[in-house]
Amino acid sequence: MIKMTEGPSARYKALKVYEAVGEEKLMGIMVKSRKVKIEPTRLIGKRLDKVDTFGKNIIFIFSDYAIRIHLMMYGTIHIYNINEPLAKPERLLRLLLKFERKKVAVYNAPVIEIDYAYNIIKKLKKMLGEDPLRNDWDPKRAVRLILKHKNRKIGDALLDQSVIAGIGNILRNEILFRARVHPERLVKNLSIEEIERIVNVAKELSEEFFKRRVNGQRIGPILMVYNKYNKPCPICGNPIRYYRQSPNNRRTFVCDKCQK
């Protein structure tokens, strides 16, 4: 079981699901959602062709159909052997997919959508920004999307999924520290070089988070500021400051000496 809060976690979970049931036929489905656009039984007998991600969204693709899952903070995905009992109460179950050998259970997910794959992918591409973990990542477009939010604090803009998809609060804090940019800076006051640095670090760090999950390594050892309140900055030794940034009210960690 893996809790998903960042894009790299979503991609790792997608990888594990595909490893478990990829290319198998769907034998049964149960779903509790108001976002079911087509009859779910249409998916029965279809093979799971791919498990993809767009930011924090996980997409199960069955030929012409798809299931979109967004776990937010408290949703989880469990993989069981086909005859294994479910580990959580049925009242928490939002989606159950039965394959030939295993079954996939999704608990507490606030978003489960079933529709034609084309419709789901088209919508996600329209509403999300650039995803650092996708092959079509375009850093120049990511810079342009940040620049559209000139009157927002960069620490707030980075949490907007229409800017860079998949960035959560841990990544946001670590990206800005490594880019040496203070989260309170307004986008309009940043140089192009600073924005490009943020975009490049977002790509590098997202990939590093993902690789560590794939290799069974924790991300804790590589965190420089997140949850490091009052500990010395690894660069200058200045105490890391903690506060909740407005207007997003998210936990923010900053070195006021290194981040300008």
pLDDT digits (tens, 9 = 90+) for 198-214: 999 999 999 999 999 99
Domain extent listing, the chain: 7-127, 139-254
Q: What is the rounded distance in angstroms from the CA atom of residue 65 to the CA atom of residue 216?
A: 32
pLDDT digits (tens, 9 = 90+) for 15-27: 999 999 999 999 9
- Select the CATH number that applies to the domain covering 139-254 from these four: 1.10.8.50, 3.40.50.720, 1.10.1060.10, 2.40.50.140: 1.10.8.50
Q: What is the rounded distance in angstroms from the CA atom of residue 58 to the CA atom of residue 18?
A: 11
pLDDT digits (tens, 9 = 90+) for 208-250: 999 999 999 999 999 999 999 999 999 999 999 999 999 999 9
Among candidate residues 154, 207, 159, 205, the one with its CA nearest the CA of residue 181: 154
pLDDT digits (tens, 9 = 90+) for 35-56: 999 999 999 999 999 999 999 9
What's the predicted TM-score (pTM) here?
Answer: 0.94
Q: How would DSSP label each residue in the chain?
A: -----SHHHHHHHHHHHHHHHTTPBP-EEEE--SEE-S-GGGGTT-B--EEEEETTEEEEEETTEEEEEE-TTT-EEEEEETTSPPSS-GGGEEEEEE-SSEEEEEES-SEEEEEEHHHHHHHHHHH--B-TTSTT--HHHHHHHHHTTTTSBHHHHTT-TTTBTT--HHHHHHHHHHTT--TTSBGGGS-HHHHHHHHHHHHHHHHHHHHHHHTT--SGGG-SSTT-TTSBPTTT-PBPEEEEETTTTEEEEE-TTT--
Quote the pLDDT of residue 5: 67
Among candidate residues 243, 241, 242, 222, the one with its CA nearest the CA of residue 175: 222
Quote the pLDDT of residue 111: 96
- The class of domain 7-127 in CATH terms is alpha beta
Quote the pLDDT of residue 1: 36
Quote the pLDDT of residue 141: 98
